[in-house]
Amino acid sequence: MPAAEAPAPTAPRCNCRAVEFLESSIGKKIMVALAGLFLCVFLLTHLAGNLILFLGGPAFDRYAQMLESNPLLPLAEGGLVVLFLIHIALAVRARLANMAARPVAYQVYKGKDARTPGSSTMALTGTLVLVFIIIHVATIKFQVGGAKGPDLFGHVTGWFHNPLYAGFYVVALIGVGLHLSHGVQSAFQTLGLNHPRYTPMIKALGAAFAILIALGFLSIPVYFGFIVHAPATPPNGAAMPSGPIGGAQ
Amino acid sequence: MTTNNEAKGMNLTLKIWRQKDARDPGGLVEYKVENVSPEMSFLEMLDVLNEQLVAKGQDAVAFDHDCREGICGMCSLMIDGQAHGPDKAATTCQLHMRRYKDGDTITVEPFRAKAFPVVRDLVVDRSAFDRIQQAGGFVSVNTGNARDANGVLIPHETAEKAMDAAACIGCGACVAACPNASAMLFVGAKVSQYALLPQGQPEREKRALAMRAAMDEEGFGHCTNEYECEAACPKEIKVSNIARLNREYLRATLVSE
Amino acid sequence: MKLESKVPTGPIEKSWDKHRFDLKLVNPANKRKFKVLVVGTGLAGSSAAASLAELGYNVESFCTQDSPRRAHSIAAQGGINAAKNYPNDGDSVWRLFYDTVKGGDFRAREANVYRLAQVSNGIIDQCVAQGVPFAREYGGTLSNRSFGGAQVSRTFYARGQTGQQLLLGAYSALMRQVGAGTVKLHPRREMLDVVVVDGVARGIIVRDLVTGKVERHWGDAVLLCTGGYGNVFYLSTNANGCNVTATWRAYKRGAAFANPCYTQIHPTCVPVTGEYQSKLTLMSESLRNDGRVWVPKKKGDERKPDLIPEDERDYYLERKYPAFGNLVPRDIASRAAKQMIDEGRGVSGSLSVYLDFQDAIKRLGEDKVREKYGNLFDMYHHITDENPYRVPMRIYPAVHYTMGGLWVDYNLMTTIPGLFCLGEANFSDHGANRLGASALMQGLADGYFVLPYTIGGYFAGTKLGKITTDHDAFKEAESSVNAHTKKLLAVQGKNSPSVLHRKLGHVMWDKVGMGRNAKGLNEALQEIPAIREEFWKTVAVTGTGEEFNQTLERAGRVADFLEFGELLAKDALTREESCGGHFREEHQTPDGEAKRDDEKFCHVAAWEYKGEGKDPVRHEEPLTFDNVHIATRNYA
């Protein structure tokens, strides 16, 4: 009889409620969900900031300047890092546990059409987004590689003139969209927020949010990478190719 | 035996998982069954195959089954990658061969999860569910301690909702269908039944904490809200029960002393 | 063998209270010294194991399934009776008692039935306290519905899954005790023998169905809660695993088998479609609350049901039994269906009658009907691919429940001291016919409220010495089990056990089924031993005894059915009367109703095993009816 007796407890029992919570399957997912939702808020503000790119170099650089000079920025950045770390670390742990939960895979697995493209690719899109973030932060924030210059606008748009770079952005941002298409409504479910009246609404809003974020961010590499293709002047801010909005300045 | 001179039935190819015991690695073996009537249930088709195998002196394919009317939860089977086969809201014993056509090839595997080790062929050990239940899936009321049944009024809707959750047959299809082999639908249903009813209130927090712990100890996966469990559940238990479990667990963690 | 019913004397209303007071008690501290082996985890087994453990006894629980929750009680659909009188429609303990005695066609022990009615209310309270989600009215009180054989609404229900919910309630109580360490659970074990030491039951031999290992277990008492033997007919509404093995082997160790011929044929089942069919599915009796049973007036009318106009339909139950209409007891409804089919008025190949919901749908609306019977309708749809909301269900009677079983006294103890028998496995409360929604009541009454008292009386009043499983009786029982297995494996024939089981089933259904006569029964008594002989010459059991081997399990059960079927037929032949589910065609009224012979057969027939190849001996326990006036049943 393989398992008639209770299995020996694998982890030492801990009396600390918080640790038990974080170690638990549900607790992990709740933390992932909470961190994810906070990250969604960040995405929204980040998108708003990024869209200033369309207002042209000076406006964007003023915005960048304002951010950089805010004394609370390191705190916010630190918070962001913590959120990402929680989200990623716990998601990875959950994923590993999930792989261990089915050691022998099915020869044929079809399911009954409940999964969505977003839900079945969370680990994949999550990893893609992580890689993207690393490249994004390295190239944009720490300006590793690319055209060095005093203004951020030129630096950023300069990057997008590299079709490989812009192309990667496009792929990664579709990944973000997919990740969010499942993640947002899933987070609500994990937090226990399921109600016959509101859940359909949450699902719709989650999908809308995913599309909004993905399209919003995508507009930047697509516009600067593929539509306004002329890297007219080196990025020094004086004579910039301006977008439709920027042109209205 | 089977053929009874009926109208010619279907000829099918079956690829069935054979595994002598828990240690044997196992593998798919191909069988042919002939003259299958569309009126047969899937398990009756397997009965026919087994009668033929036994008559030839070969070991019958082991599979769990009992009531054959969709309520005991004993039958299982992953049929062409779907728990309990292609029908919605049905167990394998309720699946009929009219679903298939002549010449079809059907792959049959056991429910797979670390917490459901294979016993033999298509038979798995689901005693993990019993142990989860032992952790807190009950109301602690000794025989003879009850007050009059109408002493506690329970609104019709509450009773119906509790019944929706209580309808679980413990078959494990939720685990089998879940990409993560998670047991959240099973546990969610049980926790929900008691969380909804007044009888469950005194042990509400204790139960949520204990059943969650037992579930994790068994090695089930984490829920990633893909809802394949709900789609596979022969009793159509809803994932709102999983949300309730999440809520109950969070609440118990925060409020219990 | 002496059959001492131990029924208390005095007024029946007081007999259980008096008996409980007279029973000696076991001191709480001493209870844990007694080990009770409970075989089976259906309503009776689970409720008994849990209740005994709560009292402090040391309990071990055995079941053949992978989990106790799968016992076949789970499949009971319609409901559970209790004399609560919540609907204020005139019910009482006395009326439930009266209806049950009458429904059983005056072949049950009055005192047992009275006790059953008395404890019925406590069962509902207990189940509600466990969190069983019974149906409720909008105001929050419990709902009731009517069932066959009663003119009051006393049936509590949880949709069409009442058995499931009650069993899960008892299972949860059992799991609680397992978690607390007071019950040790042994799933996937099949009991293959009772160990009797100096005339007292002291243990069992079980086979671990996963490893094939044969195990000895000792106890101070053994409870058989192993259900009925309906599968002797091969096709029945029972689960595939239901069998007579545990009670049959107990019989061979000295427990008397009572009234094996009392089998219940349920009137509303999905009809047979082919030879390969492995089971018949019941459609709950509760459907007869709103469904109307009919056949065409004309013989061989092959028109579709909706094309048969109202005045060409024969609602024969309403016609023949206007007072009870579609809600006559099961035996009567089944026989009426058989009569219609014998007259050539059956539908769809003359194998069934209609159960029609069109009027109910018109009256209540489809939604209300769905709320009440949705899962039953879905079940029917799954099986037949027909939508019962649109076309009438086709139904036919099928073997469903067995009133006979091991003989037990008022304490539920068999003729082997220390061996108790509960639930469907015993013979005690339903007489010759069980009323709908009474099986759940009896299983739980035995387990929750009767046995936990009476077993105390047994322990307190009996000197039980220490025993170990090294005792010779254990060795002997184990080796006889092993020999049996070896014998099955040695045949090496060509017929799978189910082929032979099916053969037995044909004989049982044709000659020992709904209508029995001396000629057919005598033929059956020739044919059954012949099939048995064929079995032992041609059965094919592949594999070994030291592994998970479902063919071997099946073969063992079929071998027992092949012996038991003969006893059933013999009992049916000896009982020269018709009563309840036992219908002897020679004994009927001019209009085809059962005719009892109270002069000669107002007794329980209990059979005593006398050894291989010897005729069993028939004992009689006379039945007296001091409280219910014995009369011809009349539902018209």
Note the pLDDT of residue A13.
Answer: 54
Q: Which two tokens stand for residue B74?
A: 């004993």
Fill in the DSSP letter of residue C448: I
Please indicate whether, in this complex, the C-beta atoms of A192 and B246 are within 8 angstroms of each other.
yes
User: How many residues does this entry show for chain A?
Assistant: 249
Name the amino acid, one letter, at C137: E
Please indicate whether, in this complex, the C-beta atoms of B44 and C278 are within 8 angstroms of each other.
yes
pLDDT digits (tens, 9 = 90+) for C418-432: 999 999 999 989 999
Q: A242 pLDDT band (50/70/90 cuts)?
A: very low
Q: A245 pLDDT band (50/70/90 cuts)?
A: very low
Fill in the DSSP letter of residue B198: G
Which residues of chain B are within 8 Å of residue A184 when distances are taken between CB atoms?
A: none
Return the residue of C nearest to B92 by Cα. C382
Return the residue of C nearest to B51 by Cα. C496
Please indicate whether, in this complex, the C-beta atoms of B226 and A119 are within 8 angstroms of each other.
yes
For tokens 């049944």, name the residue: B149
Q: What is the rounded CA–CA span in Å between residue C293 and residue C305?
A: 12
Note the pLDDT of residue A16.
Answer: 82
Q: What is the rounded CA–CA span in Å between residue C22 and residue C82?
A: 26
Q: What is the rounded CA–CA span in Å between residue A230 and residue B34?
A: 70
Q: Which two tokens stand for residue C279?
A: 């089971």
Which residues of chain A are within 8 Å of residue C186 when distances are taken between CB atoms?
A: 4
DSSP for chain A reads: -TTSSPPPPSS-----HHHHHHHSHHHHHHHHHHHHHHHHHHHHHHHHHHGGGGG-HHHHHHHHHHHHH-TTHHHHHHHHHHHHHHHHHHHHHHHHHHHHT-SS--SS----S---TTGGGHHHHHHHHHHHHHHHIIIIIS--SS---S-HHHHHHHHHTSHHHHHHHHHHHHHHHHHHHHHHHHHHHHTT---TTTHHHHHHHHHHHHHHHHHHHHHHHIIIIIIS----S-SSSSS----HHHHT-
Between the two ends of chain B, the Cα-to-Cα distance in Å is: 65
pLDDT digits (tens, 9 = 90+) for A27-45: 999 999 999 999 999 999 9
Note the pLDDT of residue B1.
Answer: 39
Kindly report the nearest CA distance between residue B146 and chain A, in angstroms.
31
Fold (CATH) for B10-120? Ubiquitin-like (UB roll) (3.10.20)
Kindly report the nearest CA distance between residue C545 and chain A, in angstroms.
15
Domain boundaries, chain B: 10-120, 126-255
Q: Which of B215, B216, B222 sits opposite A98 (nearest CB)?
A: B222
Dihedral (CA of C150, C153, C156, C160) sign: positive
Q: Residues near C264 by Cβ (< 8 Å), separated by ≥ 6?
A: C330, C331, C399, C400, C401, C402, C403, C433, C434, C580, C581
Dihedral (CA of C326, C331, C334, C337) sign: negative
Evaluate whether the domain defined by C481-611 bears CATH number 1.20.58.100: yes
pLDDT digits (tens, 9 = 90+) for A183-196: 999 999 999 999 99
Q: What is the rounded CA–CA span in Å between residue A187 and residue A189?
A: 5
pLDDT digits (tens, 9 = 90+) for B201-250: 999 999 999 999 999 999 999 999 999 999 999 999 999 999 999 999 99
Name the amino acid, one letter, at B36: V
Q: What are phi and psi of C607, to 5 degrees?
A: -100, 135
Q: Are B143 and C452 in contact (CB under 8 A)?
A: yes
C441 closest CA partner among C83, C148, C17, C52? C83
Which residues of chain C are within 8 Å of residue A1 when distances are taken between CB atoms?
A: 188, 208, 210-211
CA angle A241, A245, A248 (to 5 degrees): 85
C270 closest CA partner among B45, A29, B39? B39
Q: What is the rounded CA–CA span in Å between residue B95 and residue C385?
A: 11
- Active-site residues of C, by number, are 330
Kindly report the nearest CA distance between residue B195 and chain A, in angstroms.
14
Q: What is the rounded CA–CA span in Å between residue A124 and residue C107?
A: 71
Q: A148 pLDDT band (50/70/90 cuts)?
A: low
Q: CB of C187 within 8 Å of any CB in chain A? A: yes
Q: Residues near B162 by Cβ (< 8 Å), separated by ≥ 6?
A: B154, B192, B193, B196, B197, C131, C133
Q: What is the dihedral of CA A198, A204, A205, A206, to 10 degrees?
A: 110
Neighbours of C, requiring at least 3 CB pairs below 8 Å, are: A, B
Name the amino acid, one letter, at C83: A
Q: What is the rounded CA–CA span in Å between residue C263 and residue C80?
A: 20
Percent of chain B scoring above 70 in pLDDT: 97
Q: Which residue has the higher pLDDT, A109 or A248?
A: A109
Q: Which of C72, C133, C498 sits opposite B51 (nearest CB)?
A: C498
Please indicate whether, in this complex, the C-beta atoms of C274 and B39 are within 8 angstroms of each other.
yes
Note the pLDDT of residue A7.
Answer: 46
Please indicate whether, in this complex, the C-beta atoms of A97 and B222 are within 8 angstroms of each other.
yes
Q: Which two tokens stand for residue C619?
A: 């004992």
Q: Which two tokens stand for residue A209?
A: 């949010």
Q: Average the pLDDT over B30-53 and give the result.
A: 95
Strands (E), C108-182: 155-156
Please state which architecture CATH assigns to domain A18-100+119-237. Answer: Up-down Bundle (1.20)
Note the pLDDT of residue B7.
Answer: 54
Q: Residues near C7 by Cβ (< 8 Å), separated by ≥ 6?
A: C15, C109, C111, C112, C409, C410
Q: Residue C250: pLDDT above 60? A: yes
Q: B5 pLDDT band (50/70/90 cuts)?
A: very low
C225 closest CA partner among C459, C463, C1, C59? C59
Return the residue of B nearest to A97 by Cα. B221
Helix (H) or strand (E) holding C216: strand C214-218
Domain boundaries, chain C: 266-398, 481-611
Q: Which of C67, C74, C277 sits opposite B127 (nearest CB)?
A: C67
Has the ipTM of the complex gone over 0.95? yes
Q: Which two tokens stand for residue B186?
A: 């099973």
Please indicate whether, in this complex, the C-beta atoms of B231 and A113 are within 8 angstroms of each other.
yes
Neighbours of A, requiring at least 3 CB pairs below 8 Å, are: B, C
Distances in whole angstroms, Cα of residue C115 to Cα of each of C98, C446, C630: 12, 10, 19
Note the pLDDT of residue A6.
Answer: 46
Which residues of chain B are within 8 Å of residue C213 when distances are taken between CB atoms?
A: none
Return the residue of C nearest to B73 by Cα. C70
pLDDT digits (tens, 9 = 90+) for A49-63: 999 999 999 999 999
Q: At what angle do helices C162-180 and C110-129 cross, to 10 degrees?
A: 70
Q: Which of B60, B98, B127 sits opposite C66 (nearest CB)?
A: B127
Note the pLDDT of residue B256.
Answer: 82
Note the pLDDT of residue B188.
Answer: 98
Return the residue of C nearest to B133 by Cα. C175
Fill in the DSSP letter of residue C450: I
Q: Which two tokens stand for residue A192?
A: 């226990």
- What rounded mean pLDDT belongs to chain C? 95
Assign domain B126-255 one CATH number from 1.20.1250.20, 1.10.1060.10, 1.20.59.20, 3.40.50.720. Answer: 1.10.1060.10
Q: What is the rounded CA–CA span in Å between residue C83 and residue C93?
A: 5
Q: B4 pLDDT band (50/70/90 cuts)?
A: very low
Please indicate whether, in this complex, the C-beta atoms of B143 and C126 are within 8 angstroms of each other.
yes
Which residues of chain C are within 8 Å of residue A3 when distances are taken between CB atoms?
A: none
Domain boundaries, chain A: 18-100+119-237
Q: What is the rounded CA–CA span in Å between residue C620 and residue C601?
A: 9
Please indicate whether, in this complex, the C-beta atoms of B127 and A193 are within 8 angstroms of each other.
no
Note the pLDDT of residue C286.
Answer: 84
Q: Which of A97, A119, A186 sits opposite B221 (nearest CB)?
A: A97
pLDDT digits (tens, 9 = 90+) for C434-469: 999 999 999 999 999 999 999 999 999 999 999 999
Q: Which two tokens stand for residue C378?
A: 């879905």
pLDDT digits (tens, 9 = 90+) for C75-105: 998 899 999 999 999 999 999 999 999 999 9
For tokens 């006398």, name the residue: C610
Kindly report the nearest CA distance between residue A7 and chain C, in angstroms.
13
Distance of CA A27 to the CA centre of its chain: 21
User: How many residues does this entry show for chain B?
Assistant: 257
In the CATH hierarchy, which top-level class contains the domain C266-398? alpha beta
Q: Residue C274: pLDDT above 90? A: no
Q: Strand, helix or coil at B16?
A: strand
Kindly report the nearest CA distance between residue B102 and chain A, in angstroms.
21
Ramachandran quadrant class, C79 (left: phi over 0; alpha: psi -120 to 50; beta: rest) = left
Kindly report the nearest CA distance between residue C604 and chain A, in angstroms.
42
Q: What is the rounded CA–CA span in Å between residue B145 and residue B140?
A: 10
Note the pLDDT of residue A15.
Answer: 63
Residues 28-87 of C with CB under 8 A from B: 47, 50-51, 54, 65-72, 74-75, 84, 86
Q: Which of A101, A112, A195 sits opposite B180 (nearest CB)?
A: A101
Q: Residue C284: pLDDT above 90? A: no
Return the residue of A nearest to C547 by Cα. A1
Chains B, C: CB contacts under 8 A, how many? 242
Q: Average the pLDDT over C391-395 and give the result.
A: 95
